Amino acid sequence: MTPALIHPSRRELFAGFCKVGITAFGGALPLVRRMLVEERRWINDQDFLEYLGLGQVLPGPNVLNIAIAIGMRFYGIGGALAAAGGLMLAPLGFILLLAEMYDRFAGSVALHHLLGGLASVAAGLMAAMGIRLAMRLKRVAWRYLVAILTFAGVAVLQFPLLAVLLTMAPFAIILSWHTARRERRA
C-alpha cells in the first residue's frame, strides 16, 4: 500500500520549494519530483506526470509553472505565491550577488579566462541536452522533420523566434492530431 499523501502548510510549501531552488544546479526538474513525490509526499507519481505535462505544454519557465500549479492545488493563489516565492527568492538574491561581483571584476584577465572555459563547457552541456532529447524522440518521420526545420529556422537562418513558432507550432500540432486520429482508427 502506498503511504497517505501529506497536506503541506503554506510555510512548508515555501520551505520545500526554497530547498529545491538553492540545491538545483542546471535544471531543477528531477529534484522537484524527488521532493514532491518521495521526500515530502505531497503528491503521487501520477499527479507529478500530469503537472510535468502541464508545465511543459505551457510557455515559460517549467519549474516555476509546476510550483504555481502545486501551490494552487493546496491554497489557491496564496499557495502559488508561497511556492513560486520559495523557488525564486534565494537563487535570485544569489545571482544578483554574482552579477555585482562580475561588474566589480570586469577588468580582470583571470575572470575573463575562467569564463571562457566555463562558457565552452556550458555550450557543450546545452548541446548534450538537445541531443539527449532528440535521441528519445519517437521514430516518426514528421517529428524529425519538425525538429530539423525548427533548428534550421532559429540556428541556421536566424529567423525571429516568433516567426518560427507561428509557423512550426500549428504545423506540428496538425500533424500530431493527424497521427493520433490514424492511431485511433487502427
**Ranges within 84-123 binding other proteins (CB under 8 A):** 84, 87-88, 90-92, 94-96, 98-99, 102-103, 109-110, 112-123
Query: What does each C-alpha distance from 61 to 66, 83, 84 come to in angstroms?
Result: 9, 14, 11
Q: Among 5, 6, 49, 148, which residue interacts with other proteins (rule: CB under 8 A)? A: 148
Site for other proteins in 25-44 (CB under 8 A): 25-28
C-alpha cell at 19: 530547498
Query: What does each C-alpha distance from 31 to 16, 26, 47, 143, 161 come to in angstroms?
Result: 11, 11, 16, 29, 30
The nearest distance, CB 179 to other proteins, in angstroms, is 8
Closer CB to other proteins, 12 or 151, in the complex: 151
The nearest distance, CB 151 to other proteins, in angstroms, is 4
Closer CB to other proteins, 98 or 186, in the complex: 98
Rounded-to-integer distance, Cα 125 and Cα 25, Å: 12
